[in-house]
Amino acid sequence: MNNMQKKCLVTVLSAIVCGKTIAQTPASIELGGFDLYPSLKGEFGHDDNVLRDDDSEVESWKSTIAPEFILVNSYGLNTIQAGYRLERGNYFSSQADSYTDHLFNLAGNFELNVRHRVSVEAVYKDDHDERGTAFTIGQGDIIDTPDQYKSSKVDVTYSYGALTTKGRIDLNAGYQTTDYDIDTPLYRSRDRSTNTLAGTFYYKIMPATDLTFDVIYNDINYDFALDPTTPLDSEEVRTLVGVEWDTTAKTTGYFKVGHRQKEFDDGSRENFSGLDWRIGVTWNPRTYSTVDFTTFTNTNETNGVGDFIDTQTYQLSWDHEWLDRVSTTVKASYSEDVYTGSNASRVDDNITTMFTVNYVARRYMVVQAGFTHDRRNSNEDIIDFDRNIVSLTVNITL
C-alpha cells in the first residue's frame, strides 16, 4: 500500500485531512495481516459562552482527549477498515457539560471486476447534543447534562460500469436510527429511523467530466408521537441533474440543481416542495494554496419547533502553506434555518468563522492554534448569541 493510499484510508475516523497541507503520513503497526494506525488528539481551550445563551452566559476552560485506533487490510483493489474513537471532554468551570463519546466504524470497498464494485459502511455512535443546541436552543440551562443518544447507520452502495465507459450507475441503500437515552415521552418522541434508497447515473461527456442524474428517497419514521393523531412521519424525494468534473486544471467540483419535496403522513401538516441544489468547487490557484466552496439545501427534522427546518448552507475555506511546516486554514460558513409548519415563524441566521495556524512539528505531530467565532441572529431575540473559542490542539500519530 503506498503512502497516499494510507493517508486516505485512515481519514474515515481521524482528524487528519487527506490532501491538505497538514496531512501526515502515519506509520502503522503490523497486526495479523492488518495495519494498525493509532492516533491521539489533545485539545485545550476556552469557551466564553458554553450554553450559547447571551442572557445566562457560562464560560469555561475545556480540555479534550481523543485516542483512536484504525485497522486496515488491503488486498488487491479491495480494502477493509475498522476503527474506534473515544472522546472525553472536560469543562473545568461547568462540569455539567463534560461528556464521553464513543464511535465505532466498519467499512469495506470491494472491486468484484472492472464493471462491478461494492462499498459497505456501518457506524455506531454513543454521542451527545451539547446544552444549548438541538432541542435546547436558547434554553440550555433547563437540562443538567448534555443530551446523550445512540445512533447507528448501515450503508451499501453498488456501482455498475467501468470507470472508463460512457455510462455508469451507483445504487445506494441505507438505514439509520437515533435513540435518546432518557426514556420519557418527550425524549421518545425524538427517536426515529430513516430508510434511504438512492441512485446516481453518470454519463461521460469529456475524459474527466460527467453529466449526473440523482434520485434520493428517504422514509422517516418516529418511534413515538406525543399526539398520536399528528405524527411527524414523512417521506422525502430529491431529484437533481448536474455535472461533476475532476480535471488536471486548477478546479474540480460538482454542480447539481433540482427539486425536493417532503410529504407528511399526517394530512394536517403542511407538505413542502422547493428548489434543491448541491454545489462544490475546489480551486488550486497555486500548488500550496486551496480554496473550497460548497453550498447545499436540506430539510432537517424538527428540534421541537414547527414540522421541519428548511436549511440553506454556504461554506468557504482557504488552506495556504506559507512554509514547509507552517500553514493556515480560514473557514467561514453561513446557514439560514427556516422553521416550517405548525404556525412556526422562526428564522435563524447562523454564522461561524474560524482561523487556524497549523505547524508540523514532526512527521508524526501537528500542532494547531485556533480561534472560532459563532453567532446566531433570529427573529426571536431570545435565541440570539455570540460565542468565542480559542484552542490549542495537538494531533499525534506513529
| pTM for the whole structure | 0.93
Q: Could you give the CA distance from residue 322 to residue 299 in angstroms, rounded to a whole number?
A: 40
Please, what's the b/e burial string for 26-64 (b: 16 or more CB within 10 A of its CB; e: otherwise)?
bebeeeeebbebebebebebebebbbbbbeeebebebeb
pLDDT for res 23 = 52
For 14-31, write each residue's pLDDT tens digit: 444 333 445 567 899 998
For 43-55, write each residue's pLDDT tens digit: 999 999 999 999 8
| Tally of structural domains, the chain | 1
Task: Name the percent of the chain in helix, strand, coil, to the closest 5.
Answer: 5, 65, 30
Domain containing residue 23: 3-397
Domain holding 365: CATH number? 2.40.160
Q: Could you give the CA distance from residue 49 to residue 230 in angstroms, rounded to a whole number?
A: 36
pLDDT for res 25 = 75
pLDDT by 10-residue block (mean), the chain, 398 residues: 43 42 74 92 98 92 98 93 98 97 98 96 98 95 96 98 95 98 95 98 95 98 95 98 90 97 95 97 95 98 95 98 97 97 90 98 96 97 96 96
pLDDT for res 44 = 98
Question: Mind spelling out the 3-state secondary structure of 240-301?
Answer: EEEEEEECCCCEEEEEEEEEEEEEECCCCCCCEEEEEEEEEEEEEEECCEEEEEEEEEEEEE
pLDDT for res 32 = 84
